[in-house]
Amino acid sequence: MQELKDKIKQYGTVLPGNVLKVDAFLNHQVDPELMYHVGQEFAKHFAGRGITKIWTVESSGIAPAVMTGLAMHLPVIFARKHKSLTLNSDMYTADVYSYTKKTTNRISISKKYVDQNDKVLLIDDFLANGQAVEGMMEIADQAGIEVAGAGIVITKTFQPGANELRDKGVEVYSLAKVKSLDNGQVTFDTDD
């Protein structure tokens, strides 16, 4: 998605540890027009597949997920994050380890908002090691429902998440694929 890559080039900065900072339009300040186009792009790609709901994880996945829900006329559920939680039988839960932050969060989705015939589209802002998407897949598995695929705003293809998800049979559709952040430079895959 050229508009997104242009924003990354213009506003993105590279931090130590292969982190791409995009606080100017995605992770802190949000560019609603760009997010609207992101939602339309995901909606176009995943149209006609019988998707019933959009799932994401709070907090940075919410903006692109809501815009996708708007474009597809579908409800959006964001998994809640907690440091630790007493077991609650009304929730599906999965543990998500963050390699970047070296912490484990338990994510949860209320059973109240999951139907047996759901087919969910997973949306997230970044795909790096794939732990957030895998956590949502674990919840879908527990609920016995189908995952239609994953729509990712920015995928770091030099980290293992995207390939690991594809190996598990999940379609990953990324709007910007970053193949390197070496020397403070953002390099995109040529095929996106």
Contacts with Na ion, residue ranges (CB under 5 A): 60-61, 124-125
131 binds, among Na ion, ligand G4P, none (CB under 5 to 8 A by kind): ligand G4P
Judge whether 92 and 142 are in contact, CB under 8 Å. Answer: yes
Location of structure tokens 């919410």: 62
Residue choice 125, 137, 175, 176 for contact with ligand G4P (CB under 6 A): 125
Q: Shortest distance, CB of residue 13 to Na ion, whole angstroms?
A: 15
- Asked if 69 touches ligand G4P (CB under 6 A), the answer is no
Tokens of 13: 């900065």
Is there a binding annotation on residue 18?
A: no
- Give the span between the Cα atoms of 132 and 120, in whole angstroms: 15
- Asked if 82 touches ligand G4P (CB under 6 A), the answer is no
142 binds, among ligand G4P, Na ion, none (CB under 5 to 8 A by kind): none
CA distance between the termini of the chain = 7
- Give the span between the Cα atoms of 66 and 109, in whole angstroms: 16
* 62 residue type, one letter: I
Query: What pairing do the DSSP bridges indicate for beta strands 91-98 and 187-188?
Result: unpaired
Task: Considering only the stretches 19-27, 37-45, 71-79, 83-91, report the one whose residues sit in contact with ligand G4P under the rule CB under 6 A.
Answer: 19-27
- Asked if 19 touches ligand G4P (CB under 6 A), the answer is yes
Residues annotated in a binding site: 20, 27, 128-132, 156
